[in-house]
Amino acid sequence: MLSDFIEIKHKDHPKQQLKLSTIWLRDHCRCEECFNHTTKQRLLDLTKLPKDLRTSNVSEKEGGKILVQWSDGHKSEYSFQWLWKSQVQNLVPKTPMKSWTKSSIEKEDYANIPFNDLLNSEDSVKQVVESLITYGVAFINKVPPTTDMTEMAIRRMFPIMKTLFGEMFTFQDNPDHADTAYSKDFLGSHTDNTYFTDAAGLQTLHCIFHNGKGGESSLVDGLKCAEELKEKNPKAFELLTKVQVPAEYIDEDKEQHHYHSGPVIRLCPVTGLIKQFRWNVYDRAVMDTIPQEHMPEFYEAFIEMIKIIENEKNRWLFKLTPGTIMIFNNWRVLHGRESYTGIRKMTGCYVLHSEFVSKAKSLDLM
Ligand SMILES: C[N+](C)(C)CCCC[C@H](N)C(=O)O
Ligand SMILES: O=C(O)CCC(=O)C(=O)O
């Protein structure tokens, strides 16, 4: 049975033909005995199948169904379209990502939803999540500028991730944490939590007070930067998908020492699409993951990427004012800020990538 294949077609879909592994087909039987439809979990024990299991009859039924009779007497019914969509060569993203530059994003239809609409309509939630998949960014406007109201807006869509910075965090120029974010300094484009095994999937930032100058926010599309590098220098691109770049966060007073290595560009091994862009030049740890003989080519690729990220045509710069929450995909979009004067208070939080995926899947967007 393990080496058998079976050809399947259906008259409703004359252009489609499938060649399926017999064991795969049986493993995907969705009858009550093989699959619990309440819990959506598998029940079938593959080790209990007879060694010589074969299909004894396959027939096309009305409504795009396929009926399979098995040599052990079991019967399975499948939807042909479901079988079709379940094949690696037919996997297509439900909501494709669209890469952007500074000049293109300003013309795009990314979500910018009033707080009240978000609270009152499911469709507004969907627009935000869709925008986060397509562009990696969305905004909520007319939010009362407090941490509590920011929390309310985010909890409307996602649970909040707890980290060493707390759940909701409010930061300004003070030494609360050993990090440049807690200063008035310029912050170049980066993704957060490069030192976590599971970096936050989303980050939200809301400027709730500023009485000085500067402090503009910047966003850069990591997807665009990766595409640009691939186009200009495929060898450098390939290196940045492979070399493990170590990062760490050390706060001795709080007994924190987070450490993680991963590539700058993590590709999905199934689709080849970019899964995660991981970039923070400040939080890099000692580069000890490749031998010295490979350092020159790594640094060449890394510096080329810095130049793309810092290119003004990729950097979308704008001033966040009290009332607007910016949400971005921390696995894709880099953020930063200009230096500033005066008092500036930012509030926000992180969301687990897994929760983002869960919401997107519940809304049938992923
Ligand atoms: C957002 N918040 C102000 C709480 C923390 C900022 C941490 C930034 C840090 N260097 C990192 O890359 O993760
Ligand atoms: O202060 C800001 O606007 C951004 C801070 C930042 O980059 C961060 O929290 O990671």
Report the alpha-carbon distance of residue 215 to residue 344 in Å, rounded.
8
What is the distance in A from the centroid of ligand 1 to the CA of 179? 7
Q: How far apart are CA 164 and CA 169, in angstroms?
A: 10
- Residue 27: its pLDDT value, please? 97
Q: How far is the CA of 217 from the centre of ligand 2 (A)?
A: 8
Helix (H, G, I), strand (E, B) or coil at 48: helix
Q: Who lines ligand 1 at CB under 6 A?
A: 165, 169, 171, 179, 181, 190, 192-193, 280, 282-283
271 and 91 Cβ atoms separated by less than 8 Å: yes
Distance CA 53, CA 50 (A): 5
What three-state secondary structure class fits 252? helix
CA of 283 to the centre of ligand 1 (A): 10
Helix (H, G, I), strand (E, B) or coil at 293: helix
Task: Cite the DSSP H helix spans in the chain.
Answer: 22-27, 80-85, 102-105, 115-120, 122-134, 147-155, 222-232, 234-242, 295-310, 353-362
Which amino acid does the sequence have at 208? I
The single-letter DSSP state of residue 292 is: G
| Phi, psi at 332, each rounded to 5° | -145, -50
* pLDDT of the residue at 175: 84
pLDDT computed for residue 61 by the predictor: 96
CA dist., res. 235 & res. 247, Å (int): 23
Output the CA 265–ligand 2 centroid distance in Å: 22
Q: What is the 3-state secondary structure (H, E, C) of 135-190?
A: CCEEEEECCCCCHHHHHHHHHCCCCCECECCECCEEECCCCCCCCHHHCCCCEEEE
**Residues 168/349, Cβ–Cβ less than 8 Å:** yes
Residue owning the nearest CA to atom 8 of ligand 2 = 181
Query: Ligand 1 pocket test: which of 172, 179, 328 has the largest number of ligand atoms within 8 Å of its C-beta?
Result: 179
The pLDDT of residue 138 is 98
What Cα–Cα distance (Å) separates residue 315 from each residue in 104, 126, 332? 11, 27, 14
Residue ranges for the chain with pLDDT beneath 70? none
Q: What is the pLDDT of residues 125-153, one digit of tens each?
A: 999 999 999 999 999 999 999 999 999 99
CATH numbers and ranges of domains, the chain? 5-90 (3.30.2020.30), 102-362 (3.60.130.10)
Report the pLDDT value the prediction gives residue 128, as an integer from 0 to 100: 98
Pairing, β 202-210 against β 344-351 = antiparallel
By residue count, the chain amounts to 366
pTM: 0.95
Give the model's pLDDT for residue 46.
96
Q: Give pLDDT, residue 2.
A: 82
Name every residue whose Cβ is closer than 8 Å to that of residue 109 and which is 6 or more positions away in sequence: none
Residue whose CA is at the smallest distance from ligand 2 atom 5: 181
Which atom of ligand 1 is nearest the CA belonging to 163? 4
Eight-state DSSP code of residue 91: -
Contacts of 41 (CB under 8 A, 6+ apart): 35
Give me the pLDDT at residue 176, please. 85
